Amino acid sequence: MFTFVKMNIPSKYLEEAVEQFSSLPSIGKRTALRLVLNLLKRPEDELERFAEIIHHLKANIRTCNACGNISDTDSCSVCSNPNRNHQMVCVVEDIRDVMAIEGTGTYSGIYHVLGGIISPMDGIGPNDLFIQPLIDKCDQGNVSEVILALSPTMEGDTTNFYIYKKLIPSGVNITALSRGISVGSELQYADELTLSRSIQQRTPFTIT
Amino acid sequence: MFTFVKMNIPSKYLEEAVEQFSSLPSIGKRTALRLVLNLLKRPEDELERFAEIIHHLKANIRTCNACGNISDTDSCSVCSNPNRNHQMVCVVEDIRDVMAIEGTGTYSGIYHVLGGIISPMDGIGPNDLFIQPLIDKCDQGNVSEVILALSPTMEGDTTNFYIYKKLIPSGVNITALSRGISVGSELQYADELTLSRSIQQRTPFTIT
């Protein structure tokens, strides 16, 4: 649009602040400007608090040594819970996936958070991810089942395949999330690939 | 959605950061989480820079004493420009409107930025806005024309009316932005109110 190009910000400090906010994902310049103008209307102490939280973000928020999940302590709440099944490891891309699965309340094992997926387009290879500790854990015989729970995209499938190949020698049981039509969705709107998979991988009908 | 309700963030520091970001306009909790996770992946010095900019936002970004526009100095680039017509004052809600009008390159007067509009619903009255200096300026006889350029909403109209009443004694010439069908839009999609106004306020046809 016309006004996008001609956004002449009348202050270099404001421009710098807009620049910072628009470096965040999904925040464009115009949204960034709205955010900064909102901040400008706030009292000084609120801004100080905001700045402090960003300043200490990396120092305060730690990742669990064992699984890579985000935690305030060295061991996350899942890994330090003795009631969880530590033999079952669910491999996910990011802590938002942990939160989604925890939200279902149906999973009792532990997690392994990769911190990303293999994506040659973005220059992310296996060595940039938290994969080796999972392989070590499986090689040591501490795991009976690894559930691959990455997003059903090409990158997710590539990462699944890489981990699968690496885990085979350990003899661990490797499973993946089932794929098929969504619960509550209408069949006619399912995409072809999903629908054909759900036919091929049909399951015995049971009454629950 | 299901997962919205059950967003259990596994760290109180992370939750605090998400809380801060979701206090910004149009940023929900899930977006805030994505922003914070993005920040977490950045090097320490980038976060420090980000924090510093927020910390010094109010101290660095000043408003022009004369017009309320944002500026790095006491007088903004428009007010301190001797080539602008200082007798013509365009009244706008916020600096984004100044940027939009400056973007057109067709206005040679100066501005008066109210910093908001009268909105009883949000508890914003005339005394919360930068209105009095405009009245004073007009009373002193330094202004020949005031152009009311607020958004064509109920709040905008209320504010226009308030300023209009206050400026009448000064005898200044008061105009408003023309309202009508947008340039480049299709007539059939114009709303009824706009279309009926554009008929009532039709202008002589000229070839430009």
Tell me what pLDDT residue B173 has: 93
What's the CATH code, domain A12-60? 1.10.8.420
Q: Kindly tell me if the per-residue pLDDT of A161 is higher than 50.
A: yes
Domain limits of chain A? 12-60, 81-204
Tell me what pLDDT residue B163 has: 95
Q: What residues in A contact B61, CB-CB < 8 Å?
A: 11, 13-14, 17, 40
Contact yes or no for A103 and B34 at CB 8 A = no
Q: What residues in A contact B10, CB-CB < 8 Å?
A: 69-71, 76-78, 95, 98-99
Name which of B31, B51, B61 is nearest A54 (Cβ-Cβ): B51
pTM: 0.78
Alpha helices in chain B (DSSP H): 2-5, 12-22, 29-40, 44-55, 57-60, 95-104, 132-139, 154-167, 192-200
Please write the tens of the pLDDT for every residue from A163-182. 999 999 999 999 988 888 88
Cα distance between residue A91 and residue A113, in whole Å: 6
Cα distance between residue B131 and residue B160, in whole Å: 11
Tell me what pLDDT residue B191 has: 84
Contact yes or no for A72 and B11 at CB 8 A = yes
Dihedral over Cα of B129, B134, B139, B140: its sign: positive
ipTM for the predicted complex comes to 0.80
Taking Cα atoms as reference points, which of B172, B190, B169 lies closest to residue B91? Answer: B172
Q: Kindly tell me if the per-residue pLDDT of A3 is higher than 80.
A: no
What's the CATH code, domain A81-204? 3.40.1360.10
- Average pLDDT of adjacent 10-residue blocks, chain B of 208 residues: 58 92 93 93 93 92 90 90 94 91 89 93 92 94 92 90 94 89 81 83 75
Contact yes or no for A10 and B69 at CB 8 A = yes
pLDDT average, residue stretch A83-98: 93
**In sequence order, what are the residues at sequence separation of 6 or more whose Cβ sits closer than 8 angstroms to the Cβ of residue B116?**
B93, B94, B124, B128, B129
Output b/e per residue, B110-133; b: 16+ Cβ within 10 A.
bbbbbbbbbbeeeebeeeebebee
Q: Is B182 on the interface with A (CB under 8 A)?
A: no
Kind and range of the H or E element at A104? helix A95-104
Tell me what pLDDT residue B1 has: 40
Tell me what pLDDT residue A104 has: 84
Please write the tens of the pLDDT for every residue from A22-43. 999 999 999 999 999 999 989 9
Cα distance between residue B31 and residue A113, in whole Å: 20
Q: Kindly tell me if the per-residue pLDDT of A188 is higher than 70.
A: yes
pLDDT band at A6 (very low <50, low <70, confident <90, very high): low
Cα distance between residue A2 and residue A19, in whole Å: 20
Tell me what pLDDT residue B6 has: 53
Q: Kindly tell me if the per-residue pLDDT of A107 is higher than 80.
A: yes
Give the three-class secondary structure for A178: coil
Say what percent of chain A tops pLDDT 90. Answer: 60
pLDDT average, residue stretch A4-12: 70
Tell me what pLDDT residue A191 has: 84
